[in-house]
Amino acid sequence: MRSWINEFKEFVQRGNVVDMAVGIVVGAAFGTVVKSFVQNVLMPPIGLLLGGTDFSNFFILLKEGTKPGPYQTLKAAQEAGATVLAYGQWINDIVNFLIIAFAIFLVIKGMNALNRKKEAEAPAAPPEPPEEIKLLREIRDALKGR
């Protein structure tokens, strides 16, 4: 039991765990910002171009609820207990995913470019001297020791 606690302490104290936790928190916040961007900034103009359409209200009624339809909005259908296929929300979620995936792609691409730049700037290790030079150095050091 004691060793598990020590292993857990070591695991938590590693920098990678803290970095991962920060990444998860920032990623969740980023997801919220992107979702808001898609719903409040991107989709309204697209809906307007398509004749005032609100994608989040696109749905197919599979089965009426306790209150008979027609239902003007997805929320009204769901409140009536209707079974619906909410493909409009799915379209919004796909757009969210594509924006997040593209943003992550750009971040990774930038990090890879920085890593390549650091590797290019790092000086190359000097080449290993030939065997003759090594042998001459050993003889020199042996003669100095006398």
pLDDT, tens digit, 9 for 90 and up, residues 46-72: 777 877 666 778 888 888 888 887 888
List the one residue out of 50, 61, 44, 56 whose CA is nearest residue 90. Answer: 56
Q: Would you state the pLDDT for residue 66? A: 85
The pair phi, psi for residue 75, each rounded to 5°, is: -60, -40
Residue range(s) defining the domain that contains residue 57: 2-144
The pair phi, psi for residue 85, each rounded to 5°, is: -105, 105
d(CA 44, CA 41): 6
Is the pLDDT confidence value at 143 over 80? Answer: yes
Number of domains the chain contains:
1
d(CA 86, CA 59): 4
Tokens for 4?
Answer: 């598990």
Mean pLDDT of 132-145: 87
Residue 108, domain CATH: 1.10.1200.120
Greater pLDDT, 136 or 8: 136
What mean pLDDT is reported for the chain?
81
d(CA 91, CA 74): 14
Is the pLDDT confidence value at 28 over 80? Answer: yes
Is the pLDDT confidence value at 15 over 70? Answer: no
Q: Would you state the pLDDT for residue 1? A: 60
Q: Would you state the pLDDT for residue 6? A: 82
List the one residue out of 61, 56, 28, 24 whose CA is nearest residue 42. Answer: 56
Tokens for 39?
Answer: 């719903």
